[in-house]
Amino acid sequence: MCSQAPPSMVSTEQRQHAEHIFLSFRKSKSPFAVCKHILETSKVDYVLFQAATAIMEAVVREWILLEKSSIESLITFLLTYVLQRPNLQKYVREQILLAVAVIVKRGSLDKSINCKSIFHEVSQLISSGNPTVQTLACSILTALLSEFSSSNKTSNIGLSMEFHGSCKRLFQEDDLKQIFMLTVEVLQEFSRRENLNAQMSCVFQCYLALANQVLSWNFLPPNHILSCREVMHYIAMFEATQNVMLKPTASWRETLLDHRVMDLFFTVHRKIREDSDMAQDSLQCLAQLASMHGPIFPDENAQLTYLAHLMEGLLNMINGIEIEDSEAVGISNIINNLISTFPRSVLTALPNELFASFINCLTLLTCSFGRSAALEEVLDKDDMVYMEAYDKLLESWLTLVQEDEHFPRGCFVQPAVQVFNSYIQCHLAAPDGTRNLTANGVASHEEEEINELQEDDRELFSDQLASIGMLGRIAADHCIPLLTGLLENRVTRLHGQLQRHQQHLMASADPGTVDRKVLDDLYEDIHWLILVSGYLLADDPQGETPLIPSEVMEYSIKHSTEVDINTTLQLLGSPGEKATSIPGCNRTDSVIRLLSAVLRTSEVESRATRASLTELLSPQMGKDIVWFLRRWAKTYLLVDEKLYGQISMPLSTAFGADTEGAQWIVGYLLEKVINNLSVWSSEPDLANDTVELLVTLVEKRERANIVVQCENWWNLAKQFASRSPPLHMLSSTVQRTLMKALVLGGFAHMDSDTKQQYWAEVLHPLQQRFLNLINQENFAQICQEEAVKQEIIATLEALCGIAEATQIDNVASLFSFLMDFLSSCIGLMEVYRNSPETVNLIIEVFVEVAHKQICYLGETKSMKLYEVCLTLLQVYSKNNLGRKRLDVAAEEDQYQDLLLIMELLTNLLSKEFIDFSDTDEVFRGQEQSSGAGRAVSAADVVLYGVNIVLPLMSQDLLKFPSLCNQYYKLITFICEIFPEKIPQLPEELFKSLMCSLELGMTSMSSEISQLCLEALSPLAEQCAKTQEKDTPLFIATRHFLKVSHMMSKPLMQEYSELVETLLSNQRDAVIYQRLADAFNSLTASSTPPTMDRKQKVAFLKSLEEFVANVGGLLCVK
Amino acid sequence: MADPDLDFTSGDAGASTTYPMQCSALRKNGFVVLKGRPCKIVEMSTSKTGKHGHAKVIFLSYFCMAVFNHLVLVIGVKCSSLSLQVHMVGIDIFTNKKYEDICPSTHNMDVPNTKRNDYQVVDITEGFLSLMMDNGDVREDLRVPEGDLGKEIESKFAAGEEMLVTVLSAMGEESAVAVKPMTK
């Protein structure tokens, strides 16, 4: 018992010794008699457990040697043994039943063992009426199910995937059904009983769980020919058993299409719904039934009948009960499965009344779960069941309304109104809303610490907001005016509240007395109203040109006849006035009015900052405003009529190209940006969102053209160039983005004088100051002075920003501008060699330039960049070889320089993959004769860099994820692009490269291993090309062949050895033949191997066939 | 700094040892003065009280120079306008404990003027380095730093290797922070 004893009683050696005894016992030959003896006599549970395990392993091992009769008697022995000992420890009993299941499974394929007898026995056990015996019966069935499911629950018995697959297929057609029928009978029996005692309900629960397991069965398609995909399917099966949709084979029709089965599960749930554990199982069973699809339905009609019955049952179940907390997620799962599984055509074919009451029920549930979710948030519960359920239902709504053209027109409008209203209500403060109210109406308000890692609501709730925004569009007639009204109201109140505070502050100079409660409530209301408005009016502006959502466009068009354009423009252009004070404000375009409500919020904010009330404002609201304006501007500003079938007059008059409205709003946004950057320099997130808005304004040429006409823009440029407050107080990332925006703006349309003047304001001061500084005679002496260092750092930051502004049409001028700096930067590298911060920043400039520009550069320009990078690396290496620093914290930051250099090298290499410079079109007129002859190639730079990096990359450093990823990305690139250079590496370097490849393949994440394998294949090709054996690369690659089990075709001889090894491991003659044939046909097509593409494709194809044919045999579990 | 024609020729005699900077513009790995000591920022984060609160910056830093063992008390400063507490917790490098400080991000912090010089090591006596200055003079007032770096310098010196040490100075104190073999 040494292996089980507590550590205080036995030594480690004793324990290991004991474990060894058990392990070797399990391997002993034909241990059946001994095991039986142990089982019958021993009183020690652990020994019993080991004996059962030994029997199981031995049967599988010695299967072909065993007589059929002895196997059968063994099964009978084990079953009887368990039956006669009801008091066995649970884990011993389960192990014995597992042994039975494994034996049955092993025998099922050659039909030597018949499940029938076991089922017969089980049904007798069930009918015994004795709860203990019934539980045992359930355990037997569960063990069989787990074994045959070929899932991660299946035992490892060393047989091929194909064996597991065939067993599963046989089982699911017959035995599985029988198990299900037995289960259903038991459930029926129990559901009829009036009172269940504790013991009975335990049995009930076991069978319910079993039913759930059957309904979650991952059905294999019935055909016997394996496609390649299916082999992958097998392998995937062993990993996942979660979220399986029910897709039974046609033979299950009689069983599962029988309405009584579905009714039974509804009945069962009704009976046990108050028991949260059991309710979970019964709801999961129903959710599985709601996900049923595939060949089980003979036609759409059958599907329709099934769905109608399911829906009726569901409605009966939900209506008239008060839903328990534990039911919420389960019910939303049923609905979500149902909506995503059944095709639109079936949903629309449902009887109108039924569908209407389903939608009605879904609406009520959504609203109610939403309210409960809000309550959970107030109570700060750990387990947010309603939030999860609410998310699921909103997801279902999104699925429904995204294809709403299939449904009767307008059928979702009323539900959308209700769900939208309830969402708004939950997010507004009392009296309009219920935010922060507990169930009994008590307000709770706590200020918690929020750190920067916490996501902003707009990301945290993006899924919810997207659904709500979508529903808002469906019911635009209701929702847009609602949002506008609420927002206008809150803004007016905020204005008044701030004014009161100002008067109060002037009267008593003590700001400590300000009560922020009212303000914070208003800020929170405005926060949510702006978020919902943003999601309603526009889509996430990522990637493609975002379009105005069709519902919003239609809404605006529909009402355009009632709209007075002039009043609308007046309303838009006077954000300082109350909207309702404008005469005729009810005859304005609602979409524009919603925007103008946000502009009014923005105006109140700006005015408060001018009145020195910034400390009373909410930076969160400031973020919301610029976030909204950015999203809005991307979609609506300078709306392009060509992109729309029909366009709303108010929208095109207010925001179209060449309109006063567009000009006005650009000016307004610019003013907002400038104001924010000076007022909110201490709020990094807000400053960041603000400067992103600025980038949005100038990144499109059409918008930039208007921007550069604004005087403010020029002021901003001058102010930034002079490095004066407040802009220089911004964080470095914001300053970089600001520089980027200023550069982008410079490419707008201007006459040549203006353009010249612009660059003289923006870029020339930078250059001038920099040159003046570094050309001073005593620069070496003054370089450590603080003012000088700051100037240098500001210049380097600005250079990064300039590089970030690179676009295809400005790369020519930006590259020339930056190149001048890059050479000077190398001089700086020397001067600041002992200041790591500055060194890193200099390398970063190179990284950015390479990252943004290399893909556009022609040969000569690339060469220039390679040269300057090479010089940079040389200087770095000279100054850092052997340098040792004092650093307290051994963190990744210390290796920032290494990381940056690897990034630089990777960026330089990326030209081999992404190259837009087919001709030197963008540099026309500048390019002189190509610099052939003294060429520095990317390979030279990169290999030189690798010489620096490799010796510094220790195994410890690879433990830092960022370093590790960057490192492997780099060496994989190198192997792929310059395989011919690898053998030429110095021996030490070559060795460490190979070592890190092996390390990456064997002990890193799968992503890294994949990279390494990708690196290997070009190396192998390289070997094949040179046809030289005994080169270090050849030897190394051969080594990898064994390590990775990869079949690298060029190494034919190695390959055939591997094949033979594989074959010799196969004892079964049939399989041997199949394998040998498969290997033959694999190589037949591609001998002798050549390296062209066609060959490769042909080989890949035969490899695929090969895997399809024997993959199932080679994967063993 | 508004003047574009900066005069960089003046020496640093009488210059302030620190300059102010808005908290939000400070950066990780940069320098800052905490409790009168020049420190390197090793961690920096912002937080706010309540969703609509203003940002605060949290620093985590070490003394950039290890000269004395300091024990620093926790102090609280009431910041009138926002009634936010400024916390500082600082502990010396040798004990490897951290300095922490929270302040409103609008606050100006002092940043030390720092300077780095490379000197050739000519001798080591009784724990002090003899360093050759640019003008040929030798200074002998700098201690061999403690820890790995000091050991590295001593063993290199014992092996007869020629080397340069980088000396970091700030607020009137100096310390060797890096060593590099001389390039031949």
Residues A325 and A381 sit within 8 Å (Cβ to Cβ): no
* Burial (Cβ within 10 Å: 0-12, 13-18, ≥19) of residue A518: middle
Instruction: Indicate whether A1058 belongs to any domain.
Output: yes
Whether the predicted pLDDT of A928 surpasses 50? no
B13-25, pLDDT tens digit by residue?
Answer: 445 788 888 877 7
**Residue bearing the bigger pLDDT, A1023 or B119:** B119
Torsion of CA A950, A951, A952, A956, to 10 degrees: 90
Say how many C-beta atoms besides its own lie within 10 A of residue A135's C-beta: 19
| pLDDT band, very low/low/confident/very high, at A737 (cuts 50, 70, 90) | very high
Q: How far is A520 from chain B (nearest CA, A)?
A: 7
| pLDDT band, very low/low/confident/very high, at B63 (cuts 50, 70, 90) | low
Tell the residue number behind the tokens 């905020």, with chain if given: A494
Contacts of A35 (CB under 8 A, 6+ apart): A51, A52, A54, A55, A58
Identity of residue A78: L
Contacts of A621 in chain B (CB under 8 A): 52
A82-120, pLDDT tens digit by residue?
Answer: 888 888 888 899 899 989 888 888 887 776 677 777 888
The pLDDT, as a whole number, for residue A225 is 47
Instruction: Indicate whether A622 belongs to any domain.
Output: yes
The pLDDT, as a whole number, for residue A1053 is 46
Q: How many CA atoms lie within 13 A of A14 on its CB side?
A: 11
| pLDDT band, very low/low/confident/very high, at A464 (cuts 50, 70, 90) | very high
Instruction: Indicate whether A393 belongs to any domain.
Output: no
The pLDDT, as a whole number, for residue B49 is 78
Say how many C-beta atoms besides its own lie within 10 A of residue B73's C-beta: 8
The pLDDT, as a whole number, for residue A1064 is 56
CA A366 from centroid of its chain's CA atoms: 26
Instruction: Indicate whether A297 belongs to any domain.
Output: no
> Would you tell me which residues 435-474 of chain A have a C-beta closer than 8 angstroms to some C-beta of chain B?
447-453
CA A1095 from centroid of its chain's CA atoms: 37
The pLDDT, as a whole number, for residue B81 is 33
**Residue bearing the bigger pLDDT, A214 or A1062:** A214
A1-50, pLDDT tens digit by residue?
Answer: 444 555 566 677 787 888 888 877 777 777 888 888 888 888 888 889 98
Q: Give the burial string for B105-123 (b: 16+ CB within 10 Å, else e).
A: bbbebbbbbbbbbbbebee
Interchain proximity A684–B105, CB inside 8 Å:
yes
Instruction: Indicate whether A965 belongs to any domain.
Output: no
> Would you tell me which residues 791-820 of chain A have a C-beta closer than 8 angstroms to some C-beta of chain B?
791
Which chain B residue's Cα is nearest to A518? B52
Distance CA A1117, CA A772 (A): 73
Q: How far is B48 from chain A (nearest CA, A)?
A: 5
> Would you tell me which residues 37-96 of chain B have a C-beta closer than 8 angstroms to some C-beta of chain A?
40, 42, 45-55, 62, 80-83, 93, 96
Residue A830 contacts B where some CB pair is shorter than 8 Å:
no
**Lateral strand order in the sheet of B128-132:** A884-885, B173-181, B163-170, B114-125, B128-132, B138-143
Contacts of A885 in chain B (CB under 8 A): 149, 177-178
Whether the predicted pLDDT of A788 surpasses 80? yes
Distance CA A802, CA A844 (A): 12
The pLDDT, as a whole number, for residue A1078 is 63
Q: CATH: 2.40.50.140, 3.40.50.970, 3.40.50.300, 2.70.170.10. Which one for B114-181?
A: 2.40.50.140
Tell the residue number behind the tokens 């006459």, with chain if given: A751
Whether the predicted pLDDT of A1027 surpasses 90? no
Domain boundary, last residue among A606, A639, A672: A639
Q: Give the burial string for A642-675 (b: 16+ CB within 10 Å, else e).
A: eeeeebbbbbbbbbbeebebbeebbbbbbebbbb
Containing structural domain, residue A573 = 473-505+516-639
Highest averaged pLDDT of the listed ranges A53-62, A191-200, A518-527, A1056-1065 = A518-527
* Structural domain count, chain A: 2
B84-107, pLDDT tens digit by residue?
Answer: 222 333 333 333 456 777 778 788
Q: How far is B131 from chain A (nearest CA, A)?
A: 16
Contacts of A665 (CB under 8 A, 6+ apart): A572, A637, A655
Whether the predicted pLDDT of A577 surpasses 50? yes
Tell me the sheet residues that pair with B40: B31, B62
Distance CA A161, CA A824 (A): 64
Phi-psi region of A253 (alpha: psi -120 to 50; beta: other; left: phi over 0): alpha
- pLDDT > 70 in chain A, percent: 83
**Residue bearing the bigger pLDDT, A915 or A637:** A637
User: Average pLDDT, stretch A148-155?
Assistant: 74
Contacts of B179 in chain A (CB under 8 A): 883-884
Residues of chain B with CATH 2.30.30.30: 18-112
Tell me the sheet residues that pair with B116: B168
Instruction: Indicate whether A390 belongs to any domain.
Output: no
Residues of chain B with CATH 2.40.50.140: 114-181
Which chain A residue's Cα is nearest to B177? A886
CA A332 from centroid of its chain's CA atoms: 23
Q: How far is A522 from chain B (nearest CA, A)?
A: 10
User: Rounded to the nearest 5°, which phi and psi values hold at A96?
Assistant: -65, -40
The pLDDT, as a whole number, for residue A804 is 93
Instruction: Indicate whether A150 belongs to any domain.
Output: no
Tell me the sheet residues that pair with B178: A885, B166
Q: Which of A766, A731, A954, A942 is nearest to A854 (CA)?
A: A942
Residue B7 contacts A where some CB pair is shorter than 8 Å:
no
Contacts of A618 in chain B (CB under 8 A): 51-53
**Residue bearing the bigger pLDDT, B1 or A572:** A572
**Residue bearing the bigger pLDDT, A1084 or A130:** A130
Highest averaged pLDDT of the listed ranges A159-173, A408-422, A962-976 = A408-422
Q: CATH: 2.30.30.30, 1.20.1580.10, 1.10.3720.10, 3.30.565.10. Which one for B18-112?
A: 2.30.30.30
ipTM comes to 0.78
A684-702, pLDDT tens digit by residue?
Answer: 889 999 999 999 999 998 9
Whether the predicted pLDDT of B83 surpasses 70? no
Distance CA B64, CA B45 (A): 19
Whether the predicted pLDDT of A497 surpasses 80? yes
Whether the predicted pLDDT of A233 surpasses 70? no
Residue A544 contacts B where some CB pair is shorter than 8 Å:
no
> Would you tell me which residues 513-532 of chain A have a C-beta closer than 8 angstroms to some C-beta of chain B?
516, 519-520, 523-524, 527
**Residue bearing the bigger pLDDT, A523 or A410:** A523
Instruction: Indicate whether A551 belongs to any domain.
Output: yes
User: Which pTM does this prediction carry?
Assistant: 0.84
Q: What average pLDDT does chain A have?
A: 83
Contacts of A874 in chain B (CB under 8 A): none
Distance CA A800, CA A808 (A): 17
Residue B152 contacts A where some CB pair is shorter than 8 Å:
yes
The pLDDT, as a whole number, for residue A493 is 96
Domain boundary, last residue among A612, A639, A666: A639
Whether the predicted pLDDT of A589 surpasses 80? yes
Domain boundary, last residue among A611, A639, A667: A639
* Count, residues in chain B: 184
